[in-house]
Amino acid sequence: MPSFADDPRFSRIANDASYKGWTVSTLPLGGWLGALINGYVLGKAGRRWAICGASAVCLLGAILTTVAMAPSYIFAGRFFIGMAVGMMSTAVPTFESELAPPEIRGTVVGLFQLAVTLGIMVSYWIGYGTNYISDTSSASWRIPLAIQCVPALLLMFGIWILPESPRHLVNIGQDQKALEVLAYVRKRSIDDELTNLEFLEIKAEAIFDKEVISERYPDLINRTWLQDVQIEMLEIMTLFSSWDSFKRTATGGLVMFFQQWTGIDAIVNYAPTIFKSIGLAGDTTSLLASGVVGGDPITFFATIPALQYIDKFGRRTLMLVGTVGMMLMLILVAALSASFGDDWASHQGVSWFTVSPSHQAPSESSLSLHRCRSWCVISEIFPLSTRGPGVALSASSNWMNNFIVSYTVPIMLDKIGYKTYIVFICTLALGGLWVIFLLPETRGKSLEEMDIVFKSRTGVKDVERMHEISARIGLTEHARGVSPSHSDEGLKEKVDHMESMSPV
């Protein structure tokens, strides 16, 4: 926006590629830290307090950026906002999955991605609208930043309308409260067979986690806050303790590496700058183009059908579809930029075609599927005993690579121009080859089957431990004794699941 770029206090951010990269990348850097610490916060404070705390951090960041008097305010504010987003990126899906009924859990968690794309779309159009306030008034850029306070405040206080996660309540020993919450969110009585079956499943998993931690770290059984921090660090180190664990960890990290190095997130982040570079002159014009494409209406609507196919096709297949779609889009952009980049002013039609929804749609649709698949894979490759730290470390890889890409893209655009797209085309090609030859298919695979893929027995041992715990607390017996006439469709699935877990 002119009022921001012309302000001598912030002109360097607008005009210096390195400074611009640092400004944008402070948000994913904060996200990396937020994703790393969130496991500890979720376990100690609970899901609602974690989300409330993240909202407060976001509010702090929004205030700092809104009242900014120097670049340091912008840097600090974006870092805090990123930290909040990093925490939310794991806390909210975790909370949703623990409250949602199993039969709609995938769809409910998928709505998180839909909400993210909706937020991006709305933010771009707000920026486009406030650009008309004045070319000289700072209100044109301070108002969009101030609006961030509204959802932060709504979530900070609105989260308390919802009950605490039953899983967290079991973890802190409040079994009766957990059972009451389950009955409430499932709209059943406390004595309902399915409610008690689900409660015992949660109880078994909580016992499993505690026994694994106690066996691994017998000297840290007092569980002071300092020991909890030590355990969190040691759990991450466990991911590198054996070759099969390292392979799973590397797979999770590489999935997120290739997701970020598609370059799509960076293109969205720098949409106004990129659209100016391809001949769409004027701040209003570039912001309009950003709202049409970078503002994600296509991604938003593409995410809806993506949710319907989330469990119908293999992870590898959809990741390859996404990779090919994004490669085709970037090849087209690179070719047009190479051909007309020296004289965009004489080829305005080509400029608009480069960002037109007609050729962006396949790429944006592919992007939605690619993101869904990546997060599915990292949740499925780890055994029960290392799933928590494994997913957390993979998520932090996503944010760290986002930071690196966000910092380097404006510098690459400034130094090598359209060849920036060629860099991303190459990483997409490399990622596609990795998916074809090295990434295992995870859809519908049991823990034992994933052990075969990674040549390990960790998953088998975890299942054997779960068998023993289930029998000890009466879960297996309860599952076999439930009424076959129960009207809930989810009951049969749970009974079949428990019978499949029984030792042969």
CATH number for the domain spanning 323: value is 1.20.1250.20
Least confident of 31-40, 185-194, 257-266, 309-318: 309-318
Would you say residue 288 has pLDDT above 90? Answer: no
Residue the block writes with tokens 């007609």: 358
Higher pLDDT, 367 or 487: 367
Q: Give me the helix-helix angle, 149-158 and 47-66, nearest 10°.
A: 160
Per-residue pLDDT band at 34 (split at 50, 70, 90): very high
SS3 assignment, position 399: helix
Higher pLDDT, 129 or 273: 129
The pLDDT assigned to 504 comes to: 40
Residues 155 and 176 in one domain: no
Residues 404 and 261 in one domain: yes
Last residue in a domain, options 129, 162, 195:
162
397-418 residue pLDDT tens:
999 999 999 899 888 988 888 8
The pLDDT assigned to 53 comes to: 95
Residues 341 and 466 in one domain: no
SS3 assignment, position 164: coil
Residues 171 and 318 in one domain: no
Residues 302 and 337 in one domain: yes
Residues 317 and 212 in one domain: no
Structural tokens at position 126: 């707000």
Per-residue pLDDT band at 484 (split at 50, 70, 90): low
Would you say residue 197 has pLDDT above 70? Answer: yes
Looking at residue 282, the DSSP 8-state letter turns out to be: S
Higher pLDDT, 280 or 317: 317
Residues 381 and 412 in one domain: yes
On average, the pLDDT of the chain sits at 80
Distance CA 391, CA 386 (A): 8
The pLDDT assigned to 101 comes to: 81
**Number of Cβ within a 10 Å radius of residue 295:** 25
Looking at residue 159, the DSSP 8-state letter turns out to be: G
Per-residue pLDDT band at 291 (split at 50, 70, 90): low
Q: Which of 144-153, 338-347, 387-396, 440-449 has the highest mean pLDDT?
A: 144-153
Residues 6+ apart with CB under 8 A from 128: 284, 287, 288, 290, 291, 295
Last residue in a domain, options 162, 185, 206:
162
Contact of 161 with 185, CB cutoff 8 Å:
no
The pLDDT assigned to 205 comes to: 87
Residue the block writes with tokens 């090919």: 324
Distance CA 373, CA 127 (A): 31
Q: Give me the helix-helix angle, 447-454 and 458-472, nearest 10°.
A: 160
The pLDDT assigned to 371 comes to: 65
Q: Could you tell me which of 381, 373, 371, 250 has the C-alpha nearest to residue 316?
A: 373
The pLDDT assigned to 467 comes to: 87
Average pLDDT in the 65-94 region? 92
| Domain span holding position 405 | 245-442
Domain count, the chain: 3
The pLDDT assigned to 184 comes to: 93
Residues 256 and 399 in one domain: yes
Would you say residue 501 has pLDDT above 50? Answer: no
Residue 435: Cβ-neighbour burial (10 angstroms; 0-12, 13-18, 19+): buried
Q: Give me the helix-helix angle, 387-416 and 71-99, nearest 10°.
A: 140
Average pLDDT in the 439-451 region? 75
Would you say residue 327 has pLDDT above 70? Answer: yes
Q: Could you tell me which of 423, 396, 488, 492 has the C-alpha nearest to residue 32?
A: 396
Q: What is the pTM of this model?
A: 0.82
Query: What does 293-360 look like in DSSP terms, one character per residue?
Result: IIT-HHHHHHHHHHHHTTTTS-HHHHHHHHHHHHHHHHHHHHHHHHHHTT-GGG-HHHHHHHT-HHHH
Residues 142 and 177 in one domain: no
Would you say residue 208 has pLDDT above 50? Answer: yes
**AA letter at 343:** D
Residues 323 and 229 in one domain: no
Distance CA 2, CA 141 (A): 9
The pLDDT assigned to 367 comes to: 58
Residues 63 and 180 in one domain: no
Residues 6+ apart with CB under 8 A from 230: 217, 220
Contact of 42 with 83, CB cutoff 8 Å:
no
The pLDDT assigned to 431 comes to: 92
**Number of Cβ within a 10 Å radius of residue 493:** 12
Average pLDDT in the 379-404 region? 85
Residues 355 and 453 in one domain: no
Contact of 302 with 365, CB cutoff 8 Å:
yes
Would you say residue 453 has pLDDT above 80? Answer: no
Residue 471: Cβ-neighbour burial (10 angstroms; 0-12, 13-18, 19+): middle
Q: Could you tell me which of 350, 304, 321, 335 has the C-alpha nearest to residue 262?
A: 321
Last residue in a domain, options 110, 133, 162:
162
Could you give the percent of the chain with pLDDT greater than 90?
A: 24
Distance CA 290, CA 272 (A): 6
Distance CA 251, CA 316 (A): 13
The pLDDT assigned to 357 comes to: 47
Average pLDDT in the 230-259 region? 88
Instruction: Give exposure, 392-431, as e/b (b: 16+ Cβ within 10 Å).
Output: bbbbbbbbbbbbbbbbbbbebbbeeebebbebbbebbeeb
